[in-house]
């Protein structure tokens, strides 16, 4: 089940390496469909489509799709569904924000073995609340009842977002060795690592969602259903051209090691200093009680940093001040140096 009796994400049913391998084949198939307006490869945080491919400063649509994963199982145990709706919208908003896009509209897909109207309404209440907070229209969606595919009242939830940005303001841009990496705190697990966490909390520890853990200062349900936050309000004022913001990375599945390289050019390496931020107690609890290897922790969870800003070193202090003045708690998490494209930890 695990390495040296410790939990791993792969042993819990999620193989990130297998997903990466499958993506390589999918890229080839998707590329065969590309038309002139496509500006991005499969694997970017959001897909880019220029409305006028000849206009180098014209509008670009940025689109993304995602789900909430097995966090839905925790919502079922707690019988609370509005938070997963907020999770879904905020996750998608963050994924297009990293390319400089402002959200335009959102659609959802809700599929269940047996439709429970009150549950669907609660999910949509969460979707609506998050769309309002992000200035994004909930334009529509699809509701499907499929008893032959989903057991009982099990359900799945997915979201689709479209935003826009001028082509000459797309991110990342000008990312280079010497840039400083600033982190913005997460609100917990966000929407990743739940297969491992559910195994630890509910199968091994036999906790319920109402079990209170003094280490966390919360019940299990409260800790695991903390809403995946949106970084739009914090980051949008920093998107001015020439302002020194070179790139953004949304730290989701794969953690910092898999997500930060998505914005790095060849020959540039990110050096991460984990001592630069205070790790929330939840991650320490999972590592300790689950015996999770450090490499697996870092590649499964955000470890307390949900968004990384890559900024001009000459503007780093200014960014720290502006973010702090806006009520954020930014931290210096590392820097970029010449080297093989990827992430290394300095401590």
What structural domains does the chain harbor?
Answer: 35-169 (3.30.1330.10), 180-345 (3.90.650.10)
Q: Please state whether beta strands 212-213 and 218-219 pair in parallel, antiparallel, or not at all (unpaired).
A: antiparallel
Q: Is 152 exposed, middle or buried (0-12, 13-18, 19+ CB in 10 A)?
A: exposed
Backbone angles phi, psi at 285, to 5 degrees: -65, -45
Per the model's pLDDT, the better-predicted residue between 181 and 24 turns out to be: 181
Q: Is 206 exposed, middle or buried (0-12, 13-18, 19+ CB in 10 A)?
A: exposed
Cα separation, 341 vs 140, in Å, equals 40
pLDDT at 43: 80
pLDDT in tens, 299-322: 999 999 999 999 999 999 999 999
**What are 219's strand-pairing partners?**
212
pLDDT in tens, 111-166: 999 999 999 999 999 999 999 999 999 999 999 999 999 999 999 999 999 999 99
Cα separation, 306 vs 159, in Å, equals 19
Distance of CA 97 to the CA centre of its chain: 11
pLDDT in tens, 54-76: 999 999 999 999 999 999 999 99
The encoded tokens of residue 339 equal 């080297």
Please check whether residue 293 is in contact with residue 3, taking contact to mean a CB–CB distance below 8 angstroms.
Answer: yes
pLDDT at 11: 66
> Under 8 Å CB-to-CB from 35, ≥6 apart: which residues?
none
The encoded tokens of residue 149 equal 């595919």
> Under 8 Å CB-to-CB from 268, ≥6 apart: which residues?
175, 176, 177, 336, 337, 338, 339, 341
Cα separation, 155 vs 116, in Å, equals 10
- In a 13 Å sphere around the CA of 279, the CA atoms on its Cβ side amount to 15
Q: Any idea what DSSP says for residue 201?
A: I
Question: Whose structure tokens read 């409260």?
Answer: 222
Please check whether residue 102 is in contact with residue 169, taking contact to mean a CB–CB distance below 8 angstroms.
Answer: no
Cα separation, 272 vs 285, in Å, equals 22
pTM of the model: 0.93
pLDDT at 200: 98
> Under 8 Å CB-to-CB from 43, ≥6 apart: which residues?
23, 27, 262
Nearest to 111 by CA among 74, 79, 68: 68
Q: Any idea what DSSP says for residue 101?
A: P
pLDDT in tens, 217-251: 999 999 999 999 999 999 999 999 889 999 999 99
208: region left, alpha or beta (phi > 0 left; psi from -120 to 50 alpha) = beta
Cα separation, 83 vs 323, in Å, equals 26
The encoded tokens of residue 12 equal 């819990």
């Amino acid at each position: 089940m695990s390495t040296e009796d410790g939990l791993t994400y792969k042993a819990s049913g999620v193989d990130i390496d297998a997903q990466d391998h499958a993506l390589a084949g999918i890229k080839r198939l998707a590329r065969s469909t590309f038309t002139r307006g496509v500006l991005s490869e499969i694997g970017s945080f959001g897909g880019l489509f220029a409305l006028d491919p000849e206009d180098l400063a014209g509008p670009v649509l940025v689109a993304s799709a995602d789900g909430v994963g097995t966090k839905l199982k925790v919502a079922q145990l707690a019988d609370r569904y509005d938070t997963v709706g907020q999770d879904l919208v905020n996750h998608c908003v963050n994924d297009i924000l990293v390319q400089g896009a402002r959200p335009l509209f959102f659609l959802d897909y809700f599929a269940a073995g047996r439709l429970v109207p009150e549950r669907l309404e609660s999910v949509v209440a969460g979707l609506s609340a998050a769309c309002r907070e992000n200035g994004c229209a909930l334009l529509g969606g699809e509701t499907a009842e499929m008893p032959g595919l989903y057991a009982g009242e099990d359900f799945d939830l997915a979201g689709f977002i479209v935003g826009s940005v001028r082509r000459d303001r797309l991110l990342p841009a000008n990312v280079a060795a010497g840039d400083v990496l600033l982190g913005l705190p997460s609100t917990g697990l966000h929407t990743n690592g739940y297969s491992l966490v559910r195994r630890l909390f509910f199968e091994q520890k036999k906790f319920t969602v109402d079990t209170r853990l003094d280490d966390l200062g919360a019940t299990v349900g409260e800790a695991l259903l903390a809403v995946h936050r949106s970084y739009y309000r914090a980051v949008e004022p920093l998107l001015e051209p020439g302002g020194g913001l070179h790139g953004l990375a949304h730290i989701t599945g794969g953690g910092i090691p898999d997500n930060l390289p998505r914005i790095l050019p060849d020959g540039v390496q990110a050096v991460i200093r984990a001592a630069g931020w205070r790790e929330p107690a939840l991650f320490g609890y999972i590592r300790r009680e689950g015996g999770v290897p450090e490499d697996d922790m870092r590649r499964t969870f955000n470890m307390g940093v949900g968004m990384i800003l890559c900024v001009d070193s000459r503007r780093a202090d200014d960014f720290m001040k502006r973010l702090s003045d806006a009520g954020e708690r930014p931290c210096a998490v590392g820097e970029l140096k010449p080297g093989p494209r990827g992430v290394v930890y300095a401590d």
